[in-house]
Chains A and B, each alone.
Chain A
């Protein structure tokens, strides 16, 4: 081996900001005081709607953009002003950016040749990586002759063959059809686990984010609004934005009756419910919203239930059935598995409701 075996390092984004001049709005923050800590070998996803600053942040980590403030560190080394080509990163573009004038093998070999690796080793590593991504035999093809999934694999191979310190993905799956997207994200995930490369991944697709990541940082309007595991974000959102952006949600209006030990008793849906508090500073009497996931709503026989609802409509989707329920003056969505034939509940039926333990989270009424 002529090159140094890459040590696994963490990435630290330290209060980075980027300002763009907008034609109409004037100066806008594409990223505002973004702080991220990616542990060595960790897979972190930046998730958010378009224009939230996730791609800008990624491009600053890559060195394609210069931050206006803040620092970027690779394993303790300040790389803020280091040119892209010295950072030793692997970058996978949304459009793959395969060199159209080079063959698959030449594309993959490019980064190795730039590093001056001997031809023999280059050839060996190109062979190995193409085998790894399942493109053996494609060496002499050109990008124009490849399908979207194959191009994606070439881009991936080209990025990992240089054994980068950090692997960066910018919406890599958005040009693929739905089925391939699911397949490729599994492959990316497996590959990253196997190679244990510190990875930052950008997507606007929350399901994709949850499928691939160790940890997700949700961004909105240039800032990270919450970061944590997929479970954290899903079950314990700290803002209405995160609650609605990650998964489907019922937001139930209510009023706090009492607060104790990080939990609250909330008056909602004509009854009193116990719910987890997102953050502190809640006081009795405050108007709040309760986060309630549709699948946490359990439908039970109406007779004797303390909380009743009417089925307004339902949609049979095979593996699951979706219901729209009217409970007091609130419309709720509920989901349950398809179940056995004939087990369905008819429109207009009155059902009882109960919620899975710990399913409710209290958010302040004031929007985030």
Chain B
């Protein structure tokens, strides 16, 4: 009997699920990407590099490419430094509990916000009529647009990723190792330099690459802040399609993003990932048994963190304030007008977003644990490939995924443009992989002997999955649910290409409001999204505690990676 048939006989449920997953992956991951490549490389069915060359020789577009890399580099470095500062302070400064919670909340804010939040706040503060530049300093004719503001805004938005990557690593370093160095006569600074820092280097590299990728893919911030003088690839691709109706040009531009993004992703997963000295089990190591930080340094670190935290809180307070006054910078009369607007004119966007998120969430969560479970615990041909393919949409910048979906599902045989399904599918296959990674990570920590013990006690493989494995990977399921929901509420880079008259999204509405300069409703929408997301995170936290699973931290950390 041929091998596939034999394995089908042995476990038909597994074989059918594998087959179904492959079909879905082929349709929603491989097919769109192949169509995108086809569109770029072929013209009327014949191979043609002309389209590619037109764009590649356009000086403006080449500049956009280098600008994107420069921005990503700066954000990567800056964000990693700030993230390390926070992580080190949290892990080594013996902070009281409430202060740690405060840091966590401040850091969480940018992660769960819609994409324009810091950008809006930057304009409110530093724009031509900004609270700080105009009202406070009396400067006139300042311009906020350009590299500096884009970089600062992205660094504030993405440094939490570095924090969440680095903190568990710092916490997991066996404090005895540092204590040992100290007992051998090293000074605190020397211990930091020769022990702590070297042990953290893989984490730093990891954080840098994650930030680099996030910045490279960021579409919203540069769209608002970069201005004409500093074009970057994601926005250029968007403008090429929406402004010049040049689908092919947009496809080429998005593909230029592909190569750096792919290199960074591969480096991050297959190079840095194997160089960790400390294994992060999610269980923090005990408190440092000695004062690893001198009092002066401790205060300096705290002050630096406080400064960044204050800036973040100020941004969000400003956003809230802007949503509650008539026109920030001009008329500061309190009003609920903007909220009235978003719940009347904007109601459709809110409803659509919630419906789409409501469908994407359970589907994405289920997809995550199913695929994660199969690739870690079941042996079948091509399971490594399946795991890799499932990661593609997650690793690619949203702009590429969005344009690929747009091209692939615009025409027969599979016409999905204008439906909610295309947006739901985009979210499931783009953010479901966080659930896959969580499931894989969790299953790797769960010793196989647990499942063997169940078998030994007489349970079959389906009973074992239901009674033992499933309850243990529930945290991953909920974490996956949470991430898909939050991203469904806040993402824009891919779905901006997929919205239609029938189905639109809050984030797209925010962008429209921004371009129409109705900043009040934009601020009100943003506040609403942050509020909804916080409620959902709290609910999922409840659920996880109810299932005795300490997984909230894990979920928030997955928002980063």
A interface residues with partner B (beta carbon < 8 Å): 62-64, 83-86, 88-91, 93, 95, 97, 99-101, 110-111, 114-115, 142, 158-159, 162
Q: Are B458 and A86 in contact (CB under 8 A)?
A: yes
Measured in the bound complex, the distance between the Cα atoms of B459 and A63 in whole Å is 13
Q: Are A88 and B458 in contact (CB under 8 A)?
A: yes
Chain A residue with Cβ nearest B446: A100
Q: Are A64 and B458 in contact (CB under 8 A)?
A: no
Q: List 28 A-B contacts (CB under 8 A).
A: A62-B452, A62-B456, A64-B456, A84-B455, A85-B456, A85-B457, A85-B459, A85-B460, A86-B458, A89-B456, A91-B452, A91-B456, A95-B447, A97-B447, A99-B450, A99-B453, A99-B468, A101-B471, A101-B547, A110-B459, A111-B458, A111-B459, A114-B454, A114-B457, A114-B458, A115-B458, A142-B548, A158-B453
Residue among B449, B459, B460, B471 making CB contact with A95, cutoff 8 Å: B449
Chain A residue with Cβ nearest B468: A99
Q: Which residues of the partner chain A approach B450 to less than 8 Å between Cβ atoms?
A: 97, 99
User: Which residues of B in the span 439-491 have a Cβ within 8 Å of any Cβ on A?
Assistant: 447, 449-450, 452-460, 463, 467-468, 471-472
Q: Which residues of the partner chain B approach A63 to less than 8 Å between Cβ atoms?
A: 455
Q: Are B548 and A97 in contact (CB under 8 A)?
A: no
Measured in the bound complex, the distance between the Cα atoms of B457 and A110 in whole Å is 7
Measured in the bound complex, the distance between the Cα atoms of B457 and A162 in whole Å is 7
Q: Which residues of the partner chain B approach A158 to less than 8 Å between Cβ atoms?
A: 453, 457
A93 and B472 contact, Cβ closer than 8 Å, known pairs A85-B460, A86-B458, A111-B458: no
Residue among A84, A88, A101, A114 making CB contact with B548, cutoff 8 Å: A101
Q: Are A97 and B452 in contact (CB under 8 A)?
A: yes
Of B450, B453, B463, B548, most buried by chain A (CB within 10 Å of CB) is B453
Distance of B284 from chain A, by nearest CB (Å): 15
Of B455, B458, B463, most buried by chain A (CB within 10 Å of CB) is B458
Q: Which residues of the partner chain A approach B547 to less than 8 Å between Cβ atoms?
A: 101
Q: Which residues of the partner chain B approach A97 to less than 8 Å between Cβ atoms?
A: 447, 449-450, 452-453
B interface residues with partner A (beta carbon < 8 Å): 447, 449-450, 452-460, 463, 467-468, 471-472, 547-548
Chain A residue with Cβ nearest B450: A97
Measured in the bound complex, the distance between the Cα atoms of B453 and A97 in whole Å is 7
Measured in the bound complex, the distance between the Cα atoms of B456 and A159 in whole Å is 9
7 new A-B contacts at CB < 8 Å, known A84-B456, A85-B458: A62-B456, A84-B452, A91-B456, A93-B452, A93-B453, A99-B450, A162-B457
Q: Which residues of the partner chain B approach A115 to less than 8 Å between Cβ atoms?
A: 458
A-B residue pairs, 9 tightest by C-beta: A111-B457, A97-B449, A91-B456, A97-B453, A84-B455, A101-B471, A114-B459, A114-B458, A85-B455
Measured in the bound complex, the distance between the Cα atoms of B451 and A91 in whole Å is 12
Residue among B449, B458, B467, B548 making CB contact with A162, cutoff 8 Å: B458
Distance of B177 from chain A, by nearest CB (Å): 24
Q: Which residues of the partner chain A approach B454 to less than 8 Å between Cβ atoms?
A: 99, 110, 114
Distance of A255 from chain B, by nearest CB (Å): 52
Measured in the bound complex, the distance between the Cα atoms of B459 and A158 in whole Å is 13
Measured in the bound complex, the distance between the Cα atoms of B446 and A100 in whole Å is 10
Distance of A161 from chain B, by nearest CB (Å): 9
Q: Which residues of the partner chain A approach B447 to less than 8 Å between Cβ atoms?
A: 95, 97
Q: Which residues of the partner chain A approach B459 to less than 8 Å between Cβ atoms?
A: 85, 110-111, 114
Distance of A122 from chain B, by nearest CB (Å): 13
Measured in the bound complex, the distance between the Cα atoms of B339 and A90 in whole Å is 64
Chain A residue with Cβ nearest B470: A101
Of B447, B455, B456, most buried by chain A (CB within 10 Å of CB) is B456
Measured in the bound complex, the distance between the Cα atoms of B471 and A315 in whole Å is 56
Q: Which residues of the partner chain B approach A93 to less than 8 Å between Cβ atoms?
A: 449, 452-453
Distance of B373 from chain A, by nearest CB (Å): 16
Distance of A351 from chain B, by nearest CB (Å): 47
Q: Which residues of the partner chain B approach A86 to less than 8 Å between Cβ atoms?
A: 458
Chain A residue with Cβ nearest B451: A97
Measured in the bound complex, the distance between the Cα atoms of B362 and A80 in whole Å is 42
Chain B residue with Cβ nearest A90: B456
Q: Which residues of the partner chain B approach A64 to less than 8 Å between Cβ atoms?
A: 452, 455-456
Of B452, B468, B472, B547, most buried by chain A (CB within 10 Å of CB) is B452
Measured in the bound complex, the distance between the Cα atoms of B454 and A99 in whole Å is 9
Measured in the bound complex, the distance between the Cα atoms of B453 and A179 in whole Å is 27
Measured in the bound complex, the distance between the Cα atoms of B456 and A257 in whole Å is 56
Measured in the bound complex, the distance between the Cα atoms of B457 and A62 in whole Å is 11
Q: Which residues of the partner chain B approach A62 to less than 8 Å between Cβ atoms?
A: 452, 456
Q: Are A101 and B472 in contact (CB under 8 A)?
A: yes
Of A64, A84, A158, most buried by chain B (CB within 10 Å of CB) is A84
Chain A residue with Cβ nearest B549: A101
Measured in the bound complex, the distance between the Cα atoms of B547 and A227 in whole Å is 49
Q: Which residues of the partner chain A approach B548 to less than 8 Å between Cβ atoms?
A: 101, 142
Measured in the bound complex, the distance between the Cα atoms of B509 and A34 in whole Å is 72
